[in-house]
Amino acid sequence: MVILARGAKETKAEAKESPSSEVAGRVKSGIPGLDEMMGGGIPVGSLVVLSGDPGSGKTILCWQFIYEGVTKYNENAVFVSLEETEETIYDGALGFGWDFRKLVNSGKLKIITIELYDFERLKTAIEDNVKAINAKRVVIDPGVIFRLFFDRELDARKRIMSLGKMLKSIHATAIITNEIALDQMTSLYGLEEYVADGVILLYHTKIKNRFYRSIAVLKMRRTGVTENLKPVQIGSDGIKVLSKSEMFTEVG
């Protein structure tokens, strides 16, 4: 069954683009319009890489994935931040009305902020925290920093694969962010994408003399995906995927 959150706003042509669902267990991203691009949500246990250029909204999407997951779908979450402090995360998320401190205090969210250290210890910390609150969602932001753990690409792939396996074994669905430069959009993607079950791309597209935020689902194992790029909007309540007709109104 195809779920159309935008209801009447969805045109017939766009509804046809929505891929069919092949697996039953889905984790809803909670981003309006995104789940319809991948058959109703992310297949449970997937390791998804969220790639994007600077300022494209990767962190906001991750916060929303966590907040909606906990508050709307009753799925606890673990947020691993390799860059920000707990305080800056609380402040940033609260700017969108997402009270992470409250979620942490009620035992529904665990935030791990760590310095760059041993990868195996990081993996163990994630596993322990996920098990402690029976988390269903894990976010690692920015995940690209993983590369700094390893000298050799083969090592990196092996270790990230082992992280993915561990998360699957405890039925956690994970998003790892990855920074890519605008001018590298057409070049080969990083190693995480090869190892990952899914890749979501968030970036700026140039139309006429302006940049527009766009989203695409490049790959999602075990499900069909919408191949078209869609416009996205960031506002005071977070990120949402717009329909094509809304984009045309925007581009004018």
What residue 25 binds from Mg ion, ligand ATP, none (CB within 5 to 8 A, per partner kind)? none
Span near ligand ATP by CB under 6 A; candidates 33-41, 58-66, 124-132, 185-193: 58-66
Q: Least separation, in Å, of the C-beta of 167 and ligand ATP?
A: 21
The answer to whether 108 touches 76, Cβ cutoff 8 Å, is: yes
With the C-alpha atoms ordered 234, 239, 245, 247, is the resulting torsion angle positive or negative?
A: positive
Question: Which of residues 234, 243, 246, 247 is near ligand ATP by CB under 6 A?
Answer: 234
The distance of closest approach from Cβ of residue 206 to ligand ATP in the complex, given in angstroms and rounded to an integer, is 15
Helix, strand or coil, per DSSP, at residue 63: helix
| 3-class DSSP assignment, residue 241 | strand
39 binds, among ligand ATP, Mg ion, none (CB under 5 to 8 A by kind): none
Minimum CB distance to ligand ATP smaller for 18 or for 51? 51
In the complex, the smallest distance separating the C-beta of residue 99 from ligand ATP, rounded to whole angstroms, is: 16
Shortest Cβ 51–ligand ATP spacing (Å): 10
Q: How far is the CB of 89 from ligand ATP (least distance, A)?
A: 11
**H-run or E-run covering 205:** strand 198-207
Q: How far is 67 from 29, CA to CA, in rounded Å?
A: 10
- Residue 59 interacting with ligand ATP (CB under 6 A): yes
User: Is 4:36 a contact under the CB 8 Å cutoff?
Assistant: yes
Residues 161-180 that bind ligand ATP (CB under 6 A): 179
- Binding track, positions 184-223, relative to ligand ATP; x by CB under 6 A: ----------------------------------------
Give the residue among 191, 190, 193, 185 at the shortest CA–CA distance from 220: 193
Tokens read off for 178: 């990855």
Instruction: Find out whether 47 and 195 touch, Cβ atoms under 8 Å.
Output: yes
Q: Which residues contact 244 (CB under 8 A, 6 or more apart)?
A: 11, 14, 228, 230, 231
Q: Which is nearer to Mg ion, 61 or 122 (CB)?
A: 61
Closest to Mg ion by CB, 58 vs 230, is: 58
**Reduced to 3 states, what is the DSSP secondary structure of residue 147?**
helix
Q: Is there a contact between 199 and 182 (Cβ–Cβ < 8 Å)?
A: no
Among 21, 59, 173, 226, binds Mg ion (CB under 5 A): 59
Q: Which residues bind ligand ATP (CB under 6 A)?
A: 52, 54-60, 179, 234-236
Q: Which residues bind Mg ion (CB under 5 A)?
A: 58-59
